[in-house]
Each structure stands twice: as structure tokens, then as C-alpha cells.
Amino acid sequence: MYNIIMKIMIQTILKAQRIQIFLFVVLLSFFTIYDQQIVTFLYHPDSLYGAFFEKFTYLPGCYLLLLSTTILYVHYFKKQTNWKLQYLTMFLCAIAFFITSYYFYEALAGFGMILHVLISIIIIYACIRWDQLDSYVKTAWIVLFTIVAALLTVELLKVIWGRVRPYAHIENPSYYTNWFHINTNRFKTYFDLSDTTKSFPSGHSNWATLTLCYSFYFKKHKKQALAIAVIFILLVTTSRVIYGMHHPSDVLFGSAIAYTYYTIAKYSIHEKNRTIKD
């Protein structure tokens, strides 16, 4: 039964995403040939645009994580029916808060922490006062698993691929490899920072694309949420190439991974809502 459901789901997703798959193949073909030329042409290490998104890209995704875990914690705390889930969701909420705190501190230091605490209080208060919160519990679990799965996939591929970042191979072209070359530890001995060999795929692009999941929480303003997310994705992906942190193929795969998980989540939520209606 599980295999049948998975087969139907995959067929449905592939059928619905034909345009996206075609666009991915076209872009990948182009970037496979011109990856190095594009990044060399656009490279601008002193770009304020690139520096801004280097610091702030993670925050929208972190708040998506915090929102999802807060929904879960508030729901189970109000229900008072399962103490294990209460403590689990409280723990997850605390982790999300500290992750967001870390990236906010990295971006804005002291002032950022004050702003972060205020935003967190607003999120918690909004969840407590949200009349329809209980209907979003399954959605919150799906979003949580989507975020974790996408991030783990990207981090695993970074370690396996070991692709050198553009800012390093622009100075020494011998470090350049195409996206389909798996290097693993081949170049690690040449660099003091292990992060230098984590170009493929792009983590920032992955985080940015995960903001599409905000649309699951804004049913009345779903199109607006998706439009804002798409603009944010385009800004982040281009900034990563300009700043010399990633090749075009890196950001393409980073976004594609997150988009794949987002599509699976969207289908899962759609099935959940259809089951409730039936």
C-alpha cells in the first residue's frame, strides 16, 4: 500500500511540475557549460548586495522554523493530553529560538537580539490568540520535517561533493571543477577553512527557497506569500554568485532540493485537507 501511494504521489508531482522540470534542465545545461564564465564575470567581493544577503538570508527560514514549532508547542500545551509531545515540542521550539538567535546575533549583534526577542514574543502571542491554530498542527509538522530534510540533504551533499567556492578558484583556476565532479576531500588540504570546499549545493539558496512554505500558513494571501518568496529567492541566488560564494549550478541545485521537498509538503498538505473534507 505504501509503495502504491508513493508511486501515485511521484507521478502526480512530476505531472504537475513539468514546466519547472523543463526549466531546471535548460538552466542546468546552460550552467554546465558556462558556470565558470558567469561567476568570473559577475564576481564582486566588495558587493554590499552580496554582503547583506550573506548575513540576513537565514532569518526568514529560521522564523518559519520558529513559527512551526511554536504552533506545535502552543497546541499541545493547550490540549494537556500528551505530556511527551508537550516536552518534545517545547524542546523543538527552544532549539528553533536559539538557532534564530544565533543568526540574528551574527547579523545585527546586540540590537539584533532585542529585535529578535520582540519578534519572537509577537509570534508566540499570535499563536496563542490564533483561533484556527489547531487546524494547522499537521501542516506545522510537515513544514518542520520539510525544513530538516532539506537542510540535512544539502549538508550531506556539501561534504560528499567538496566543490571549491568561486572566490578561491578565480585566483587559481586549477581548483575549478564542474558540478558533476565529486571531489570529497580532494581539495581540503589546500585550504585552512573547510567551508571553502562546500560550494555545492548552496545552503543560502536552500534556506531561501524554503520560505515558499510560508504560503501554507497564509491561505487568504497565498499568492502574495508565494510572490514575496520568489522575489526573495531570486535576490538571494543572484547575490551568492555575485559575492563569489557559489556557482550558478550550486544555487540551482540548492533551490531545486528545497523546492522538491516543498512540493512534496504541498502535496501532503493537499491530501490531508482533502481527507478532512471527505
Mean pLDDT of the chain, nearest integer: 87
Which residues, in sequence order, are CB contacts of 54 under 8 Å at separation 6+? 204, 239, 243, 245
d(CA 190, CA 197): 10
d(CA 1, CA 108): 50
Cis-peptide, bond into residue 201, ω within 30° of zero: yes
- In this model, does residue 190 exceed pLDDT 70? no
Q: Are 119 and 63 in contact (CB under 8 A)?
A: yes
pLDDT score of 13: 59
> Residue written as cell 534564530?
100
Q: Are 60 and 123 in contact (CB under 8 A)?
A: no
pLDDT score of 3: 58
The model's confidence at residue 2, banded by pLDDT at 50, 70 and 90, is very low
pLDDT score of 166: 93
The tens digit of pLDDT for each residue in 150-166 reads 999 999 999 899 899 99
Domain ranges of the chain: 18-56+136-278, 65-130
pLDDT score of 17: 74
pLDDT score of 7: 57
The tens digit of pLDDT for each residue in 50-66 reads 999 999 999 999 999 99
Ranges 28-32, 75-79, 176-180: which has the least confidence = 75-79
pTM of the model: 0.88
pLDDT score of 51: 93
Which residues, in sequence order, are CB contacts of 75 under 8 Å at separation 6+? 89, 133, 134, 137, 140
Burial class, 22, CB count within 10 angstroms (exposed 0-12 / middle 13-18 / buried 19+): exposed
Backbone phi and psi for residue 193, each to the nearest 5 degrees, phi listed first? -100, 120
Q: Helix-strand-coil percent breakdown of the chain, rounded to 5?
A: 80, 0, 20
Which residues, in sequence order, are CB contacts of 95 under 8 Å at separation 6+? 69
d(CA 26, CA 45): 28
> Residue written as cell 512534496?
264
As a whole number, mean pLDDT of residues 101-118 equals 81
- In this model, does residue 1 exceed pLDDT 80? no
As a whole number, mean pLDDT of residues 226-241 equals 96
pLDDT score of 14: 60
Ranges 106-110, 118-122, 134-138: which has the least confidence = 106-110
The model's confidence at residue 278, banded by pLDDT at 50, 70 and 90, is very low
Ranges 35-49, 82-96, 263-277: which has the least confidence = 263-277
pLDDT score of 8: 55
Three cell numbers written together for 230: 520568489
The per-residue DSSP string of 45-66 comes to: TT-HHHHHHHHHTHHHHHHHHH
